[in-house]
Structure 1
Amino acid sequence: MPEGPETGLTLVCGADRAATAAVAGSLRAAHGVLVAHDLRGRGEGVVHRRVVDDDGGCDSVLELAHGCVACTLREDLLPLLLRLARDPAVRDVVLLLDPGMEPEATAGALHALVPEGADGPVTDVLALRGVVGVIDAGTWLDDAGGDDSLRERGLGLTEDDERTVAQMAVAQAEFADVLVVAGRCPTPWDRVRLDAVLDRLAPRAQRLTVADPPGSAPEVVAELGAEIVTRLAALGPDARRGVVEDAHAPLLRGQPPLARDAGMSLLHVGHRRPFHPERLHAAIDVLLHGTIRARGRVWVASQPEHVLWLEPAGGALQVGSAGTWLAAGGTWDDVDDERRAAAALGWHERFGDREQQLVVLVHDADPAAIVTALDAALLTDDELALGEAAWRRFPDPFEHRHVDPCAELPGVVDEAFTEGER
């Protein structure tokens, strides 16, 4: 069996620029080279890049065609990572993400996009060790349950970026292999609640608590970096290590606790009959308030072929396409063994593999009210009896699709509504 790349790559993400940069700096001391892009000047087509090694830092100002994340990746980051991978003096690379960059989408691009002059993606020459997420113990829970937009915090990547701080905070924590919880919660009870959420949101992640925000003392920096490296090396076989999972992967990987704890609970909703599109659209309101995150695959009656992916968080809703149901023309040979096995085991004589699978992380909402609202959105027996031809004529708020050509990157969801726009 051929050995993998010798040079490693670690992604570091978080909403707090200072704390996240400090954690990335501690890893650089242990690993080698730090690469960071600051996208705050993207509106003027300018991106600031910083590369730090043992000899110091080098700052560059990049003038890109669009100043967007996709252009930064394609035109600068991927070629730079390729050059570093080819440098025998580089042991490991630490990639510090701008707070507005989604780690899952970035990792997907690293796995899929081929830089000019390369025979494959950079992950062919850089071993992705894992993703380190940095969260502020005192503010993360409020951010994850709030509805502030990234633009309001100065973190949006475009003028029309409608993502919320909650979406980003949850995505960064959920995709991490190692979570650094920095600072202190306002009260011991707040810490209990934070741990209860993280147990359910990121059950596979190693968790490291740093009582005070990472400082600049060399011995503290070295100790933190060494501890994170140890945690990355100790990741189990089920760790993601920056791999973007298929939308049909099990929604409860890592065996998160389902029981209610400190007011937090994980609700699994599964049904075989389809949703009425308009009633589902109305019912989504219950997923936007009092929840940390909801995600999963749904089937609306008006689109019997399509698997829709719903991901509400922080007052905003993301809707994406997750392919075609096998019962409606999907090709068995084109899906992985896990999906084939799940479809075969749960095959329904009328609906095939079509079903509803949603997982909701609840904190202030009533789980029973969520179940009731979603149940009411399913087709009634009379509607079910109408048949597929009639279902296709139902008014469908989910028919709209929007694809930004600059955002066509693996892992980027193809549609986003804010609560007010739905």
Structure 2
Amino acid sequence: MYQLYLKYKDREFLYIIPLVIFSLSMRLGNFMRIWFSGKGFPDSEDSQWYIEYANALLTNFQIGLHMNDILYFGYNILLTLLLALFKDTVAIVFIQALTAGLSVILVYKIARMLFNRSTAVIASIFYSYSWNITKWSTYILSDSFFISLLLLCVYFLLMSLESKKRKYTILFVMTSLYMLVFRPTGVISLAFIMIYFLFRLDKQTLLDFAKKYRLVIGSIVVAAVAAVIYLIVGDKLNPLIESVQYNAKLVLYNIYAHGWIYDKESTYDYIFKPDYSINILGSLILSFLINNWDDVLILYGRRAIAFLGWWVWETDLSTFRGITRFVWYVLPTVLFLTGTIAAIVNGLFRKVSIIWLVVLAVYAFCILIFIDGMYRYKAPALPFLAIGAAYGVKTIFHGAMTIIKKYAGKLLWDKKKY
């Protein structure tokens, strides 16, 4: 048995297979419970919009230049293809749950590359247990598939940097481009991912690449600039620009102006009297943010706290039940912060900073736009929070074992003296 252990102890599939089974049991188990309950899968106004849009594409394939057409292009096309193939939204929900369950493989591999096997196993368990990831896999929304796409993008990036294989670089570029048009969060997420890419890339390698392909890069840049100028001068981008401005106005005048932390009114909002003057470069957005900068910063501060969850407003430390609830809810944050400090102390932060950059991207998006009441916009950060928290658990466990061994050895030494 010991020989078998030595032979197979480093085979990754022995760890991945049980984790995949566990993750699938959580996702598909929830799918089956809802399906057999007869109550139907959860729905929302956004879900109906996506389904109606996909059906319209099936009837008359036409992509407009509205913000929702462009920034959700990737998901709209994916949903349209799935509806064309399976004809039934229940089948799409099943595929989402299956994809979410299998994505534990990506969580394991990312954590394994950045840290170690123990962290990878713990992170995979945290990911599998995450109720929010299970919940959003049952809605016809872009969130569930986006989480898997984000994990895939980070995985291909790490494989490209670690293995130096061209195929992974190509796959990273492809998933990156798809993320840009999958949903708006993808734009911010990719911006932070590229920071990590440039951070990890050797400067000399970058200079050599730029020198070798300077003509190709220059041609692409010139062509892109010329295309943008043509579209702007020809008023081709007017629908996109107008829709972006309209949506920005909706957020500023309906969310910011009312001091809302979430996408709806709550008792925790910050109420202030906004200045609506448009006096900064003729821009509604700049004028509102600059004229109300102090109130906006306070609103951002409240959102920064609210990002942790609804429990921050409902903490009760006057009762034993309240204290235990607070400890339970704050534990993931403590573990994540422990993992952060440990990564810095152990000199790993440069290598593993992708975890924190992705979380920061989602954090920034929620603070700048708003936090939806069901914390859907926070969901893309959950796998990466799980990895950071897992490293915190690994660090605490390693520290505890070191202390135990130290004092156990001391006790044995004291006994020997007698």
Query: What TM-score do the two structures reach when normalised by structure 2?
Result: 0.24
Relative to its length, the structure with more helix (as a share) is 2
Q: When the two structures are superposed, what TM-score results if normalisation uses the length of structure 1?
A: 0.24
The structure in which a higher percent of residues are strand is 1
